[in-house]
């Protein structure tokens, strides 16, 4: 082994790549063993539960409806007294009560005839059809019965679910406590976006982290920028582990002179994976400190985004026990050849162009350093590990980031 080979080997020791699926398995298995996915629960007002995830089945506390009510505007009648009414044999009745949709059916009455189907003659009404018991009546519990499950465990609360709970008298429900994540930006070149000096870079990846984690139901906090110095980074991580459920260190995961993330995680906990067969995102670090996940994100924004979407999202999905985003996939024809390395899962940003019934998929130029390729993308085309790319004209499947046909005429 030459000196050069030896040095290269040392530098890449932690960057021995594991495959994407293997990385997730190692990471999630470790988190599972430490109990990270066992969510705490809290009891909250259902009216403030939108988007939260149930931690138990929600069981109806009362019948809905809780009294028999009319399903129509009309008259409440006693069905016995309507017998024999027909179009050619109208029947006049006196023993009825006007009733509107939703009103309680008065005691002793057992059917409702629609207002459109009667004719009024002073105190009497004429009917043209006999009524059957229960007709146009919403029975007690016909929507939800007391004791019935309204929402299952692991369910994202929708607006209509809130309405259902309120109608069943379930004013408080149990939901999973949102896991809290902290983002620690490191890098001596980073600065606040307001005051960007000649050789400085505005810290912006935290907005990608924060935006998505909150969208997926987590809590997200961003800490002040830490310089590329070992001790302050270590201190920040130690403090973060005390206060948050998961920790993200931004950048410092490749092998430059000042990349301390791996060292810090090694000292405080365990590096599970460092370097994954994905592109962009290869230098990602997945570790654990106590029961808490720690993720070292690459510094390039697209690489950071891929790792947030591919590791943090499924981590939160396992915590909540449900999917947190709709995966909208479409098929299209590739407009030009793309190449990819064997053994690497490549996440290619693409534009999707609709041409009549067909979709044309245009890969966007620019590696992981180009945020423009993500901002302009309609979707992501994944090149699997066993492929060296896709050929021009091939049919491929794209995961859409945004609905296409987005711009309306109006």
Rule CB under 8 A: choose which of 17, 52, 138, 313 binds its own copies.
Answer: 138
**Helix 261-268 vs helix 230-243: angle between axes, to the nearest 10 degrees?**
50
Q: Report in angstroms how near the CB of residue 348 gets to its own copies at its nearest.
A: 16
Q: Report in angstroms how near the CB of residue 392 gets to its own copies at its nearest.
A: 25
At residue 397, φ and ψ (nearest 5 deg) are -110, 135
Q: Report in angstroms how near the CB of residue 258 gets to its own copies at its nearest.
A: 6
208 binds its own copies, rule: CB under 8 A: yes
Rule CB under 8 A: choose which of 104, 270, 337, 358 binds its own copies.
Answer: 104
Q: Which is nearer to its own copies, 257 or 355 (CB)?
A: 257
Cis check for the bond before 204: say yes or no (omega within 30 of 0): no
Assigned token pair, 389: 């790319």
11 binds its own copies, rule: CB under 8 A: yes
Lookup result for tokens 């979707």: 379
Rule CB under 8 A: choose which of 91, 93, 115, 225 binds its own copies.
Answer: 115
Q: Which residues pair with 348 in a beta bridge?
A: 381
227 binds its own copies, rule: CB under 8 A: no
Helix (H), strand (E) at residue 262 = helix 261-268
Q: Report in angstroms how near the CB of residue 244 gets to its own copies at its nearest.
A: 19
Residues 345-384 that bind its own copies (CB under 8 A): 366, 369-372, 374-375
Q: Which is nearer to its own copies, 367 or 393 (CB)?
A: 367
Residues 144-163 that bind its own copies (CB under 8 A): 144, 150-152, 154, 156, 158-163
332 binds its own copies, rule: CB under 8 A: no
> What is the spatial distance between Cα 133 and Cα 110, in angstroms, rounded to a whole number?
6
Q: Report in angstroms how near the CB of residue 275 gets to its own copies at its nearest.
A: 13
Rule CB under 8 A: choose which of 164, 248, 288, 381 binds its own copies.
Answer: 164
Residues 35-74 that bind its own copies (CB under 8 A): 37, 47, 50, 64-67, 71, 73
Q: Which is nearer to its own copies, 292 or 390 (CB)?
A: 292
> What is the spatial distance between Cα 207 and Cα 215, in angstroms, rounded to a whole number?
12
8 binds its own copies, rule: CB under 8 A: yes
Q: Which is nearer to its own copies, 202 or 384 (CB)?
A: 202
Strand 91-93: give its sheet, edge to edge: 91-93, 124-127, 118-121
Q: Which of 278, 255, 261 is nearest to 383 (CA)?
A: 278
What count of other Cβ atoms lies within 10 Å of the Cβ of residue 188? Answer: 12
Q: Which of 394, 312, 315 is nearest to 348 (CA)?
A: 394
Q: Concatenated DSSP letters for 113-130?
A: EEGGGEEEETTEEEESSP
Q: What is the largest CA-CA distance in the chain?
A: 110
Rule CB under 8 A: choose which of 44, 78, 98, 263 binds its own copies.
Answer: 98
What count of other Cβ atoms lies within 10 Å of the Cβ of residue 199? Answer: 7
Assigned token pair, 120: 């009024």
Say how many residues touch its own copies, by CB under 8 A. Answer: 101
> What is the spatial distance between Cα 35 and Cα 245, in angstroms, rounded to a whole number?
12
Q: Which is nearer to its own copies, 123 or 408 (CB)?
A: 408
86 binds its own copies, rule: CB under 8 A: no
193 binds its own copies, rule: CB under 8 A: yes
89 binds its own copies, rule: CB under 8 A: no
140 binds its own copies, rule: CB under 8 A: no
Assigned token pair, 251: 């950048």
**Of 205-213, 289-297, 380-388, 389-397: span binding its own copies (CB under 8 A):** 205-213
Q: Which is nearer to its own copies, 81 or 205 (CB)?
A: 205
Q: Which is nearer to its own copies, 277 or 390 (CB)?
A: 277
Lookup result for tokens 């028999």: 68
Rule CB under 8 A: choose which of 269, 287, 301, 363 binds its own copies.
Answer: 301
Q: Report in angstroms how near the CB of residue 7 gets to its own copies at its nearest.
A: 6
Half-sphere exposure of 282 (CA within 13 A, CB side): 17
> What is the spatial distance between Cα 228 and Cα 299, in angstroms, rounded to a whole number?
13
């Amino acid at each position: 082994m030459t000196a050069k080979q030896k040095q290269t080997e040392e530098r890449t020791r932690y960057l021995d790549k594991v495959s994407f699926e293997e990385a997730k398995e190692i990471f999630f298995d470790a988190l599972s063993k430490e109990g990270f996915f066992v969510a705490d629960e809290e009891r909250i007002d259902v009216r403030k539960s939108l988007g939260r995830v149930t931690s138990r089945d929600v069981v109806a506390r009362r019948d809905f409806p809780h009294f028999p009510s009319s399903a129509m505007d009309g008259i409440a009648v006693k069905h016995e007294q309507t017998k024999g009414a027909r179009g050619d044999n109208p029947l006049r009745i006196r023993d009825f009560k006007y009733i509107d949709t939703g009103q309680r059916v008065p005691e002793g009455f057992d059917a409702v005839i629609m207002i459109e189907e009667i004719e009024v003659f002073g105190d009497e009404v004429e009917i043209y059809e006999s009524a059957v018991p229960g007709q146009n009546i919403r029975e007690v519990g016909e929507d939800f019965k007391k004791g019935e499950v309204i929402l299952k465990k692991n369910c994202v609360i929708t607006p209509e679910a809130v309405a259902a709970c309120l109608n069943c008298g379930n004013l408080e429900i149990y939901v999973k406590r949102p896991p809290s994540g902290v983002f620690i930006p490191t890098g001596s070149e980073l600065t606040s976006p307001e005051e960007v000096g000649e050789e400085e870079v505005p810290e912006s990846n935290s907005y990608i982290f924060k935006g998505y984690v909150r969208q997926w139901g987590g809590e997200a906090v961003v800490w002040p920028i830490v310089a590329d110095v070992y001790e302050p980074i270590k201190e920040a991580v130690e403090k973060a582990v005390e206060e948050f459920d998961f920790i993200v260190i931004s950048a410092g995961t490749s092998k430059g002179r000042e990349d301390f993330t791996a060292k810090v995680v090694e000292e405080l906990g365990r590096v599970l994976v460092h370097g994954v067969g994905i592109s962009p995102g290869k230098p990602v670090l997945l570790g654990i400190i106590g029961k808490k996940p720690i993720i070292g994100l690459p510094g390039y924004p697209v690489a950071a985004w891929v790792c947030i979407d591919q590791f943090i999202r499924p981590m939160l999905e396992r915590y909540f026990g449900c999917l947190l985003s709709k995966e909208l996939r479409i098929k299209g024809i590739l407009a030009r050849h793309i190449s990819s390395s064997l053994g690497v899962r490549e996440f290619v940003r693409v534009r999707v162009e609709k041409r009549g019934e067909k979709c044309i998929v245009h890969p966007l130029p620019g590696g992981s350093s180009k945020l423009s390729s993500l901002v302009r993308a309609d979707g992501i085309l994944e090149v699997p590990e066993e492929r060296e790319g896709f050929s021009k004209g091939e049919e491929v499947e794209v995961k859409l980031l945004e609905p296409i046909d987005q711009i309306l005429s109006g």
